[in-house]
Amino acid sequence: MKKTLLFSFFLSLTLCSVATIWAQAESRNALEAKLALENSLEKRLKMVLSEALGTDDIIVIISADLQEQEKKTQLEIMPGIPKEEKMGELSLSSTLTMLKKLSASLILDKTISEEDTKLARKLTAGLLGLPPEREDLITIEKMNFRKARPFIMSDLLVPPNLWNLTWIILVAALMLVAVLVFLSPLSRAAKAFVVAFAAQNAQAEGQRSEEKREAEVLETKTAAAPESAQGGKTPLFGFLSSDNISSLIFLMKTRTTQDLTILLNYAPKDVSAKLIEALYPKSVQALAALPKITLMPEQSIRALEAEIKAALDYVVGGEDKTLGIMETLDETVQEKAMADFARLNPLFSAKVKSSIVRLADLARLDGAHAQMLARRLPMRVIAAALKGSSYATAFVSKLSGGMQERLNQELELTRALPAEAYKAERTKVTEALRQLIKEGLVSLNTSTTTGAPHPQSAPAASRTGAPATPAHPPAPGANRPATDAPPHADTSSAKLVPAGEKPPSPPAQK
């Protein structure tokens, strides 16, 4: 009995569950069918109305009510006809979904005219199969659709755009202040780096041009000089050069015209030209005999070469050597030595004053020549030579903007050097200036007065006066006129005065 009751209970529970699940499935199927029908009709109707009215501002709402009907079928047995036996039920049933009610709601824009509204009602009724006069089934409403209007500048002055604009301006101002306060030192450092890099490039370019000029000068000298070796033999008089021209002039004053002719034949062209200028008019006679071709004895040529080569090693003195030593002295010692020269040898003292190149001459350069010197030497060398000097300001003012900043930076960074180091740097600057004067690229402006003299130095004598006519070409840097030198003065060599004797008195001034 208990088992029967328990079985009945579980059976009824199972049947209830199955019935519930079946009812839910049927309800879900009905809802899905209703939504599918409504969506299909809405899309189709909206597409038709959009094409007809020429606007997409249309809202279509379709409402459909469905009704389900069950249909059952049963096998009919005819008398006298055997029935076909099949497994399963003898009857079939199916569910039919019927459309009970259909309505449409249209929402149009207010800009649509009444004629278009009537057209929309007519198209809706025709598409859905409804009578157009049934306003309860087809309802039409109108409204203003919210469209995005074009942006104008005046909108920025209206909230909330006004608050957004205020915040943007505030953030931009804060960023600008941060850039000016924190990044300004970096920008100055970057600018200084760019200036230094440009100055370094200009200096490197100047050094390359200087190396190119030196190479051209070397090629010129090589082309002018005889070939160094032909067939393994050393050329005759190959030791002659511009370095020993002063000693050579001194030796050839006492030699014969024939010896001078031989020397002009074998010497380089620049040496021969200087010999002709210094030994005039004797050199003209030797030059006149040179066009005639003559076969000279080898022993005579070898003997003359040996004599001149040996004598050159024992020639002592000369203006070039004296000027070279004077230019390497400290400025204070230079002033004292020139003061003594003015008393002992006034002629040579005037020539030294006009020929020697000193650091004070930097203030007398014009702008183009000062920039040429700045490109010839590294900026640190010029800054070390001008550190603490009264000529630094005058020289810096003659440079271009980039070079001025570069040199001012070097002057600030350069520490005070010892006396020997300062002397070495000053010598480099004066040597470079002397080389530029020798090459004819720089000339000193004698009409411009120099700045304040070097500390502890005697006042320099005036470098202006009547030009002198030297017996031979002046030394490097002697393109300035010598002062207080009488015309036709022979200053080609310095006379040695034995110790204890009185130096010869200078010639009387006219």
Where do the structural domains in the chain lie, given as residue ranges? 17-70+92-143, 242-312
What backbone phi and psi angles, to 5 degrees, belong to 235? -65, 150
For the record, the structure tokens of 387 come out as 């550190």
Give the strand order in the sheet containing 138-143: 58-74, 91-109, 138-143
For the record, the structure tokens of 216 come out as 């051209």
pTM (2 d.p.): 0.37
Alpha helices by DSSP H, listed for 313-400, are 319-328, 331-344, 346-355, 367-376, 379-386, 392-396
Q: Compute the half-sphere exposure of residue 296: CA atoms within 13 Å on the CB side of its CA.
A: 17
User: Is the torsion defined by CA of 7, 10, 11, 12 positive or negative?
Assistant: positive
C-alpha 330/C-alpha 327 separation (Å) is 8
Q: Compute the half-sphere exposure of residue 462: CA atoms within 13 Å on the CB side of its CA.
A: 8
Residue 288: name the closest of 267, 261, 254, 266 by CA. Answer: 261
Topology of domain 17-70+92-143, CATH: GMP Synthetase; Chain A, domain 3 (3.30.300)
C-alpha 474/C-alpha 319 separation (Å) is 9
- Quote the pLDDT of residue 171: 93
Give the count of beta carbons closer than 10 Å to the beta carbon of residue 1: 5
Residues forming beta bridges with residue 138, ordered by sequence position = 104
Q: Mind listing the pLDDT tens digit of every residue in the chain (510 residues)?
A: 667 777 676 677 777 666 667 666 666 777 788 888 888 888 998 899 888 888 888 899 988 887 765 555 555 566 666 656 555 554 444 555 677 788 888 888 888 888 988 898 888 888 888 888 888 888 888 888 876 666 677 767 777 778 888 889 999 999 888 888 877 787 778 888 887 787 777 767 767 777 777 777 666 655 554 444 444 567 888 888 877 888 888 888 888 888 888 888 888 888 888 888 888 888 888 888 888 888 888 888 888 888 888 888 888 877 777 777 777 777 778 778 878 878 887 887 777 777 778 778 888 888 888 888 888 888 888 888 888 888 888 888 888 888 888 888 888 888 877 877 888 888 888 888 888 888 888 877 644 433 333 433 333 333 333 333 333 444 334 433 333 333 333 433 333 333 344 444 444 433
Q: Is 119 exposed, middle or buried (0-12, 13-18, 19+ CB in 10 A)?
A: middle
